[in-house]
Amino acid sequence: AQSVTQPDIHITVSEGASLELRCNYSYGATPYLFWYVQSPGQGLQLLLKYFSGDTLVQGIKGFEAEFKRSQSSFNLRKPSVHWSDAAEYFCAVVSSYNTDKLIFGTGTRLQVFP
Amino acid sequence: DVKVTQSSRYLVKRTGEKVFLECVQDMDHENMFWYRQDPGLGLRLIYFSYDVKMKEKGDIPEGYSVSREKKERFSLILESASTNQTSMYLCASSPRRGWTEAFFGQGTRLTVV
């Protein structure tokens, strides 16, 4: 079955440090991939998406992600984290069986220390 | 900007009550979704709709039903609330069939006592 794995449940970084959040997917064809962020008490906001083309995708708030087909990965990166980046991050892939559906990972909670 | 509005941020209901969670979007989107979010489980799809009066089951439809009488409004119904339905519920919409970006509401935190 299709799935999205976010192996890190909780990550803590210092403000100004670089960040990489991992995402692996299982999918037969070229996937449509997304990263969403959820600030405390809020809904989800789209950070970036990959449909095709350039495998390095730029998003909002200084985030980027790289699609690596050989590793079935779509890791999210930011060169310098700000305290306001503390949130929960979700990776998602469009279902190959029903293109109206998103399959989400279990999320990674990011904590930022000053 | 697309706006997806959920009628309540917090709800407390008693076991056995019938509960309605309302969601409205203002961008004429075709697709609407209800997700449930629980710690360690991520978001799980309950139901979705791609047209008025159309609905499809998601991954965890048991104990829930939905209604879409107008394009902009999608309601989630708990026929008889139970404590294991205590959760965060998120509504989302997307413009059309076939995948495009989804826009989410702020969520309703439901507690069933």
- Residue A24 sits in a domain whose CATH number is 2.60.40.10
**What confidence score (pLDDT) does residue A63 get?**
97
Residues of chain B with Cβ-Cβ distance to A32 below 8 Å are: 99
| B90 occurs within a structural domain | yes
Interface test with A, best of B99, B100, B101, B103 (most A CBs within 10 A): B99
The 3-state DSSP class for residue A60 equals: helix
B64 beta partners: B78
| B18 occurs within a structural domain | yes
Give chain B's domain count: 1
| B83 occurs within a structural domain | yes
Residues of chain A with Cβ-Cβ distance to B31 below 8 Å are: 100
Whole-angstrom Cα distance, residue A50 to residue B10? Answer: 34
**What confidence score (pLDDT) does residue A98 get?**
67
Interface test with A, best of B2, B8, B43 (most A CBs within 10 A): B43
Residues of chain B with Cβ-Cβ distance to A9 below 8 Å are: 40
Using a 10 angstrom Cβ sphere, with 0-12 exposed, 13-18 middle and 19 or more buried, the burial of residue A52 is exposed
Q: Which tens digit of pLDDT belongs to each residue from B38-50?
A: 988 989 999 999 9
Residues 6+ apart with CB under 8 A from B19: B11, B13, B77, B78, B81, B110, B112
| B68 occurs within a structural domain | yes
Task: Give the DSSP H or E segment for A29.
Answer: none
| B113 occurs within a structural domain | no
User: Residue B78 sits in which domain range?
Assistant: 4-107
Task: Give 10-residue mean pLDDT values along chain A (114 residues).
Answer: 90 97 85 92 90 91 95 96 96 77 91 94
User: Residue A29 sits in which domain range?
Assistant: 3-113
**What confidence score (pLDDT) does residue B40 get?**
87
Whole-angstrom Cα distance, residue A86 to residue A79? Answer: 15
CA distance A101 to chain B (A): 8
- Which residues in chain B show pLDDT less than 50? none
Q: Do B43 and A90 touch (CB under 8 A)?
A: yes
Ramachandran region, residue B85 (left: φ > 0; alpha: ψ -120 to 50; beta: rest): alpha
Give chain A's domain count: 1
| Cβ pair B78, B63 in contact under 8 A | yes
Q: Do A101 and B97 touch (CB under 8 A)?
A: no
| B14 occurs within a structural domain | yes
Radius of gyration for the alpha carbons in chain A, expressed in angstroms and rounded: 14
Which of these, B35, B64, B27, B34, lies nearest to B49 by C-alpha position?
B34
Q: Do B99 and A94 touch (CB under 8 A)?
A: yes
